[in-house]
Amino acid sequence: MFSKISWTLAIIFVAAAAIQVAGHRGFKSVPTTVKTFENDTVLLPCHVENSGTPARVRWWRDGVLLADSGEPTLLLPARIKMRENNSLEVSYVKPEDTGEYVCQASRPAPWGHVTQVHAIEVMYPPSVHPVPESGELEVAMGDEVDMACVAKGIPTPIISWRSKGEDLLLRDDRPRLRFHADTHDLSGRYTCVATNGVGQPATATIDLRIKHKPEIEVKKNWVHASPGIRAQLDCKVIAWPDAKVEWYFKDEKVPYTSRIVKHTAGSDHSLIIRNTRTTDYGEYLCRASNVLGIRDAVIELSGVANPATFKKESHSIGKTAYNFIWEVDSYSPIIEYQFWFRQFVRGGARSEWYKLLIPSGSNAIGPVHARSFNLTGLAEATHYEGLILSRNRYGWSRPSRLLRFSTEGAPAEDDDGLRVEAAPEQKIMPVVELEPMSQHSQHSGGYTSSGSWPASRTREFCFIQLSGVLVIFTVRIVVGRYR
């Protein structure tokens, strides 16, 4: 068995060697591939072994005779010359010179004819054009997107893709992109980049448009304004074909005047109201429509204050007390605040809210109003959450973002601080109102309105310190919304 394998391998090696020798038989030169650049000069060798008799050498390309040592009067193609040593010189090479060149040596018997093949590879920078050639592609939402780039160059260019300033992460370099238009976010300009290491990369672009009904983005669905100032309502509309955008107020199209102006910049649409009046307050509709559908977005213009913002300086001031600091943007003076708070237990049932009415303590016109107060009588080592509402002459504001806070000794929580949750005005919930004792009579065991409240519970939240003044409160239970 071993001897058979050995003989087989020997035959393969001998055959391979014979093929290699046959490729060079009769020549001192060896087959050559010359990689060069445009406008260079290339010399292809054809050195025939000396057999004692001169050989006639011809050069061929694609079956066309280029040069013949036996016919010195032969008219040679432009830029081609045959040297005395039978080498072929090609000057000022062009991309079209790329290909195989055959040297044929004719010798008298018994040697006969022998040939040797050389090649020229003219390297040149890449070029690329898009498919479709217009560079524009339009598809319906959900359809397949099929785009490509055709590149030329030597060496063969490698194609990569970019979109929206970022490289597309593909499994391989490919001249063709295919995917489904599942979202309008895939719209935009796609750029293919062809590189081959010669010169600068070449690029081509394809603008993809995905047909879909309008979509509206609103950064502020509630805008605060005071009479006499300038107000601006903004909505961003994304659609293809482009959408027509109109503004509506109280179910009627807004009549545009020198005071109320419609402004458009690309996909951004604005309604500008100069010298705002109280009659301008209300809900406005940004309506976008194209042949594929209609979309609306509501923006409210109001004179009530912006939601309050708790400041980072809010902090615990003892085992049973906490200092709160907040700011409110309002062009009108703040009349009073509501402070809502309750105990918070992660994963536990939500407890009832306690609501405090806090005078503003200032008649400042604004636009920024700041307030601070100390809440005492809290439980030790306990987590709470709270929020603020503000009232000016136009009514109560929307709630602030919730603030998670805790008294000294409470275990740390990852989300202590500001967080977002559904506004409590959207729910009917139990509320414990704390009001000055001077407004009600005090009874043994707590204040009684529609039932009794244990004295121990009454004492749990019994003091609030506002700007250094201590006010004593009792409690009564109500059910309803803030008003």
Assign residue 258 the CATH number of its domain: 2.60.40.10
Q: By C-alpha distance, which of 140, 150, 144 is closest to 178?
A: 144
Confidence at residue 349, expressed as pLDDT on a 0 to 100 scale: 79
Pairing of strands 336-343, 353-359: antiparallel
Confidence at residue 26, expressed as pLDDT on a 0 to 100 scale: 77
Domain hosting residue 255, numbered range:
218-302
Is position 29 within any domain?
no
3-state secondary structure the chain: CHHHHHHHHHHHHHHHHHHHHHHHCCECCCCCEEEEECCCCEEECCCECCCCCCCEEEEEECCEEEEECCCCCCCCCCCEEECCCCCEEECCCCHHHCEEEEEEEEECCCCEEEEEEEEEEEEEEEEEEEECCCCEEEEECCCEEEEEEEEEEECCCEEEEEECCEECCCCCCCCEEEEECCCHHHCEEEEEEEECCCCCCEEEEEEEEEEEEEEEECCCCEEECCCCCCEEEEEEEEEECCCEEEEEECCEECCCCCCEEEEEECCEEEEEECCCCHHHCEEEEEEEEECCEEEEEEEEEECCCCCCEECCCCEECCCCCEEEEEEEECCCCCCEEEEEEEECCCCCCCCCEEEEEEECCCCCCCCEEEEEEEEECCCCCCEEEEEEEEEECCEECCCCCEEEEECCCCCCCCCCEEECCCCHHHCCEEEEEEEEHHHCCCCCCCCCCCCCCCHHHHHHHCEEEECCEEEEEEEEEEEECCC
Number of domains the chain contains: 4
Are 193 and 231 within one domain? Answer: no
Handedness of CA 12, 13, 14, 18 (dihedral sign): positive
Q: Which residues is 238 bridged to in the sheet?
A: 215
Confidence at residue 173, expressed as pLDDT on a 0 to 100 scale: 79
Are 341 and 449 within one domain? Answer: yes
Are 444 and 458 within one domain? Answer: yes
Is position 25 within any domain?
no
Respond yes or no on whether the N-terminal peptide bond of residue 175 is cis (omega within 30° of 0).
no
Confidence at residue 55, expressed as pLDDT on a 0 to 100 scale: 86
Are 137 and 245 within one domain? Answer: no
Are 320 and 427 within one domain? Answer: yes
**Phi/psi of residue 405, nearest 5 degrees:** -140, 165
Q: Residue 451: which region, alpha, beta or left (left: phi > 0; alpha: psi -120 to 50)?
A: left
For 439-447, which contacts have Cβ atoms below 8 Å and span 24 or more sequence positions? 440/474, 440/476, 442/474, 446/474, 446/475, 447/474, 447/475, 447/476
Are 145 and 251 within one domain? Answer: no
Return d(Cα 414, Cα 302) in angstroms, integer: 36
CA 151 from chain centre, in angstroms, equals 29
Is position 17 within any domain?
no
Are 345 and 453 within one domain? Answer: yes
Is position 297 within any domain?
yes
Are 189 and 225 within one domain? Answer: no
- Structure-token match 């000057």, residue found: 91
Is position 183 within any domain?
yes
Is position 23 within any domain?
no
Confidence at residue 483, expressed as pLDDT on a 0 to 100 scale: 36
Is position 20 within any domain?
no
Are 398 and 315 within one domain? Answer: yes
pLDDT (tens digit, 0 to 9) for every residue of the chain, 483 residues total? 433 332 222 222 333 333 333 445 678 889 999 999 999 999 999 998 876 677 899 999 999 999 999 998 889 999 999 999 999 999 999 999 999 999 999 877 767 789 999 999 999 999 999 999 999 999 999 999 999 999 999 999 999 999 999 999 887 778 999 999 999 999 999 999 999 999 999 999 999 999 999 999 999 999 999 999 999 999 999 999 999 999 999 999 999 999 999 999 999 999 999 999 999 999 999 999 999 999 999 999 999 999 999 999 999 998 999 999 999 999 999 999 999 999 998 877 788 999 999 998 877 777 899 999 999 999 999 999 999 999 999 999 999 999 999 999 888 875 555 454 544 543 434 444 444 323 332 222 222 222 223 333 333 333 344 333 333 333 333 333 333
Confidence at residue 363, expressed as pLDDT on a 0 to 100 scale: 77
Are 153 and 143 within one domain? Answer: yes
- Do residues 286 and 235 make contact, with C-beta atoms less than 8 angstroms apart? yes
Pairing of strands 136-140, 166-167: unpaired
The residue out of 179, 211, 243 marking a domain boundary is: 211
The residue out of 156, 186, 211 marking a domain boundary is: 211
Is position 18 within any domain?
no
Are 183 and 246 within one domain? Answer: no
Query: Quick check: pTM over 0.85?
Result: no
Confidence at residue 327, expressed as pLDDT on a 0 to 100 scale: 95
Are 238 and 338 within one domain? Answer: no
Confidence at residue 204, expressed as pLDDT on a 0 to 100 scale: 98
The residue out of 186, 211, 236 marking a domain boundary is: 211
